[in-house]
């Protein structure tokens, strides 16, 4: 694998290089095999596949959250990343603002920078009125927006986002996509795991399609179409043709 300074033919630096020979929860329990891809600056890579295909295991391997990973994970740039999980994780006794403050302290943000970024995110996601609320009393969509806000707070080099659209209404989805596009223009790369294939087809530059723990196909939409034998197909058609 190339170094963290690796660039493609267009000169875009890599912010995340993934080469997983095998990964699982024990040496004899390989859930993912021979998965290799790269996320470049400003690029949105969609990690897609049916349930049980190995998407979550791949993300956990990248985040070093499972005990057995053979391969190499390399972060480019400053090495900063943000992870937005599928299921909201929070402290019952902390308000939304206190969650943001805790994350800001963990990131080592200066107070002025934190106040500005957190305030902007509250407005962007229309959560200003929920600033001092406990997450336990929030709706599923509000909890998901809180997770997104915590991820966007740092402005890292790469975002790893797992099923971000679950629970979001159309307006919140639009707000999320607009902010994501701004971050991509800034140079952040995005690895997004999603089952929302119509949206993925519109916004992703590159796809990694997993099936039964292995890469079934990867590339841009045209390359996925060729691999699936669906030259005019949409992403769902390709998904059906390539996955078990």
The three-point CA angle 151-157-146 to 5° equals 5
**What pLDDT is attached to residue 2?**
44
Q: Collapse the DSSP code of 182 into the 3-class scheme (helix H, G, I; strand E, B; otherwise coil) and give the result.
A: helix
Q: Which of 179, 3, 169, 156 is nearest to 80 (CA)?
A: 156
Banded model confidence at residue 7, pLDDT cuts 50, 70, 90: low
Residues 6 or more apart in contact with residue 6 via CB below 8 angstroms: 13, 14, 17, 38, 76
**What pLDDT is attached to residue 27?**
81
pLDDT surpasses 60 at 215:
yes
Report the percent of the chain where pLDDT is more than 90.
Answer: 91
**What pLDDT is attached to residue 10?**
58
Neighbours of 93 (CB within 10 A): 9
Banded model confidence at residue 82, pLDDT cuts 50, 70, 90: very high
Q: Which of 4, 48, 3 is nearest to 206 (CA)?
A: 48
Banded model confidence at residue 4, pLDDT cuts 50, 70, 90: very low
Query: Angle, to 10 degrees, between the axis of helix 140-152 and the axis of helix 111-124?
Result: 140
**What pLDDT is attached to residue 41?**
97
51-77 pLDDT, tens digit per residue, is 999 999 999 999 999 999 999 999 998
**What pLDDT is attached to residue 11?**
78
pLDDT surpasses 90 at 3:
no
Mean pLDDT for 28-38 is 94
Pairing label, strands 29-40, 14-26:
antiparallel
Check residue 49 and give left, alpha or beta (phi > 0: left; psi -120 to 50: alpha).
left
148-205 pLDDT, tens digit per residue, is 999 999 899 999 999 999 889 999 999 999 999 999 999 999 999 999 999 999 999 9
Ordered by where they begin, the domains of the chain are 1-80+156-244 (3.40.50.300), 90-155 (no CATH)
189 touches 183 (CB < 8 A): no
Using CA atoms, how far apart are residues 96 and 14, in angstroms rounded to an integer? 33
Check residue 209 and give left, alpha or beta (phi > 0: left; psi -120 to 50: alpha).
beta
**What pLDDT is attached to residue 42?**
98
207 touches 199 (CB < 8 A): no
143 touches 135 (CB < 8 A): yes
9-19 pLDDT, tens digit per residue, is 457 999 999 99
DSSP letter at 129 equals G
Q: Picking from 1-15, 35-49, 101-115, 226-240, which range would have the lowest pLDDT averaged per residue? A: 1-15
């Amino acid at each position: 694998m190339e170094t963290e300074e690796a660039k493609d033919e267009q000169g875009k630096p890599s912010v995340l290089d993934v080469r997983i020979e095998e990964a699982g929860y024990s040496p004899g329990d390989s859930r993912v095999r021979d998965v290799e891809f790269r996320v470049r600056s400003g690029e949105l890579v969609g990690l897609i596949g049916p349930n049980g295909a190995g998407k979550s295991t791949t993300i956990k391997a990248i985040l070093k959250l499972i005990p057995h990973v053979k391969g190499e994970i390399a972060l480019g740039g400053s090495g900063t990343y943000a992870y937005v999980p599928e299921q909201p994780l929070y402290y019952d006794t902390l308000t939304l603002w206190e969650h943001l403050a805790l994350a800001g302290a963990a990131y080592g943000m200066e107070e002025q920078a934190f106040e500005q970024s957190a305030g902007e995110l509250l407005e962007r996601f229309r959560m200003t009125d929920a600033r001092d609320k406990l997450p336990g009393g929030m709706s599923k969509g509000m909890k998901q927006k809180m997770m997104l806000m915590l991820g966007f707070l740092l402005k890292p080099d790469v975002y790893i986002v797992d099923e971000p659209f679950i629970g979001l209404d159309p307006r919140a989805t639009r707000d999320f996509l607009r902010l994501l596009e701004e971050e991509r223009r800034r140079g952040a790369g995005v690895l997004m795991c999603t089952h929302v294939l119509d949206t993925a087809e519109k916004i992703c530059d590159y796809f990694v399609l997993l099936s039964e723990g292995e890469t079934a196909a990867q590339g841009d939409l045209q390359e996925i179409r060729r691999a699936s034998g669906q030259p005019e197909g949409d992403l769902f058609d390709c998904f059906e043709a390539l996955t078990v």
